[in-house]
Chains A and B, each alone.
Chain A
Amino acid sequence: MTERFILIVVTRNAPGVLSRVSSLLRRKLFNIDSLTVGRTTNNKESRFTIVIDGDEAQANKAALLIDRLIEIRSVKVLKPDQCLRREIVLARVEITSPEQEALLESSHAEIISQLIFKEGDLITLELIDTSQKLDEFLEKLNQADIKIVDWVRSGVIAMQNLE
């Protein structure tokens, strides 16, 4: 498995910043695993969480290049174990047997946060955990032949651990 690094980027909340950051990463051929962006408590700022596939040198290179953009306030490079990482998956699944339903129920123990609501014959899951945990869980659904009708994942958000 390749290494992953997490960039926490605080920018001005200005038009075009997302495009400047993402097009920079594209043209320098970085591999982006995930990119999320939202406002911070300060409505003049936005905060990006960017997950990069690559070694530490590449992550540092990406950070320096991003920091060079005029509207960037700060860039931090973190290893996965240096931060709290979460991703949300919404998955709408079709259940055809009690065993399958039991599997969904039993997953409570595995996933940090899980909501289940029924919509007719379908069950919608809202799952929150690390990307890896979510991958593993989705693989389990797959192996149990649970049909996934629709699904979406949010991309990773991260926050540095306290020392």
Chain B
Amino acid sequence: MTGAQALLKALENHGVTEMFAYPGGAVLPIYDAMADSPIRRILVRHEQASAFAAQGYSRSTQEVGVCLATSGPGATNLVTGIADAMLDSIPLVAITGNVFKQLIGSDAFQEIDIVGICEPIVKHSYFIESADDIPRVLAEAFHLAKSGRPGPVLIDIPKCEQIAEVSAETMKKLNNKENFELQLPGYKLPPALDVTQIEKAVELITEAKKPIVIYGHGVVLSNAEAHLKEFLEKSGIANVWTLHGMGAYDNTETLSLGMLGMHGTGAANFAVHHADLVLGIGIRFDDRITGKLSEFKLNKKFIHFDIDSSEFNKNVPAVVSLHGQIHDTLPTLTKALPEGLEKQWSDWNQQLTSKKKAWPLDESKAGKLTEITVINQLYKIMGEEDIVLVDVGQHQMWAAQRFFPKKSRKFLTSGGLGTMGFSLPTAMGAVFSGHPVWSISGDGGFQMNSQELATIAQDNLPVKIIILNNSFLGMVRQWQELFYDKNYVDTPLKNPDFVKLGEAYGIPSFRAETQEESKALLDKMQHFEGPILVEFKLEKEENVFPMVPAGESLGNTMLSKTQQIDAA
């Protein structure tokens, strides 16, 4: 059994059924061995897409997605997808081939130090020194990718070790599906919960007059949705969410005020700005939710829940830090909390719900086709299990403000890295969840990975492709309009005929130019089997509000070009 065969057998033993990959010289032994493997390959058209598709698999199924690329440019093309997984804490196993060990360091053809390049953007990485290490390293990679704070793991395998024979013992263990012992002595999972922190948290909560909960991705990654519900119901504390927290709780509840941050709702930003106690549950207080940090921190205390202790006191000082899986820490706190606390903040809650009513989100413009029209129409017809993937930019924020999925893992987006071109390839991985998948992109982001239409067509992946075409790089244009005196440099796009483009790949493609056509085509997409593409020709210069201008405080949230929330 060769290293290549051992790799495929080990992947199979780990339950991998699909792999997103692109062949090349330094992975030929692995491709040669694939004929004997039951693992289905999805042949992407650019390696970046393989990393995103693998992420889509992870994000939608909770399993670990796997991607594979050759050495050199194949490996460097994975970088954006790996970095994106790191920033969003998505489990991913990325496998690259490399040149023969004797050639490493000689600047050989298609040789690159991918382990070095990826060092800052992986949870861990391996360079395989011996074929015999492959099954153990793979076991470690899956464990590391999934456990604790999830993240991407890179395994770089020189071609010589793909060809080399593994030992008879390794082969036997693989064939018998035996476990390989992990050698991770330095890898620490969170210690048992510190009970004094729970006592301190209860004290802070019972002293608070204006508490608010911000929940985020950590709740989803820790599968703690039910615990969040219990906590919110028992405490009666109003809540807001981050982009990745969406769906972790019923966002349509009265005390659910909306997404927080740069394009958060007026009520959510108001609530956090004025709160005296913030419970950050599985969030990392990044700049897109805090706005101006010095003002964000003023006059409030923080209780921070996280699995990664390096997040505590990184951006805000935590009076209480609850280190661990949220499914452990949060229910312990809920239990310790006295009943009937909500009376203490009923005035505050009333103030917040009245703000929520006073500052509704922008409606769709009568008679015009805009992003908001399409997003509202789509939200109305989507089923509970439907997954929507948005790209990055204006439509991402409009959708994030208006989607209230009943379950987590139903609204997938690139939050941390903010990668344009995310939606289409990631959707290819999400279809393996077995649920209907909608991919929304703008005209800019779509063209960053439009080559994947070929993958979608070849594998008949049932992605419902929405292109929201406003003929601009909309978010950048919005900033140019508001802060650079409408100096629209390189944001207007001359686009291809997207319908013809889709048809060229053999994908049924349509165009909507009115609200009626839009509704009819969305209905058609909903019931369509297999891939389908619709381009929506939209109004060109719409702006996303609310908005916190970069570097400003949440108290300066603009509800429109002329109206601010009351900062006082």
Contact = CB atoms under 8 A, between A and B. Distances in A.
Interface of A: 11-12, 15-16, 19-20, 23-24, 27, 57, 60-61, 64-65, 67-73
Contact of A70 (B115, B186, B313): B186
B496 interface: no
7 contacts: A16-B127, A23-B120, A64-B312, A67-B188, A68-B310, A70-B184, A73-B186
B105 interface: no
Nearest to B153: A70
Interface residues of B, number: 19
Contacts of B186: 11-12, 69-73
Interface of B: 115-116, 119-120, 123-124, 127, 144, 184-188, 308-310, 312-314
Contact of A19 (B119, B184, B313): B119
Nearest to A44: B185
Nearest to B148: A68
Contact of B123 (A60, A70, A72): A70
Contacts of A69: 186
A70 B124 contact: yes
B313 A57 contact: yes
B158 to A, nearest CB: 14
B185 A12 contact: yes
Nearest to B129: A15
B310 A64 contact: yes
Contact of B119 (A11, A23, A64): A23
Nearest to A72: B186
Contacts of A64: 309-310, 312
Nearest to A27: B120
Contacts of B184: 70
A61 B187 CA distance: 18
B187 A70 contact: yes
A28 to B, nearest CB: 10
Contacts of B187: 70
Top 4 A-B pairs, shortest CB-CB distance: A64-B310, A70-B124, A71-B186, A72-B186
B310 A19 contact: no
A51 to B, nearest CB: 20
A75 B267 CA distance: 43
A23 B115 CA distance: 13
Given A60-B313, A73-B186, 16 more contacts: A16-B115, A19-B119, A27-B120, A57-B313, A61-B313, A65-B310, A67-B309, A67-B310, A68-B310, A69-B186, A70-B123, A70-B124, A70-B186, A70-B187, A71-B186, A73-B185
A16 B123 CA distance: 14
Contacts of A20: 119
Contacts of A11: 186
B133 to A, nearest CB: 12
B35 to A, nearest CB: 34
Contacts of A61: 310, 313-314
Contacts of A72: 186
A72 B124 CA distance: 12
A68 B313 contact: no
Q: Which of B116, B185, B310 has the most CB of A within 10 A?
A: B310
A71 to B, nearest CB: 5
A70 B314 contact: no
B309 A70 contact: no
A60 B321 CA distance: 15
Contacts of B123: 70
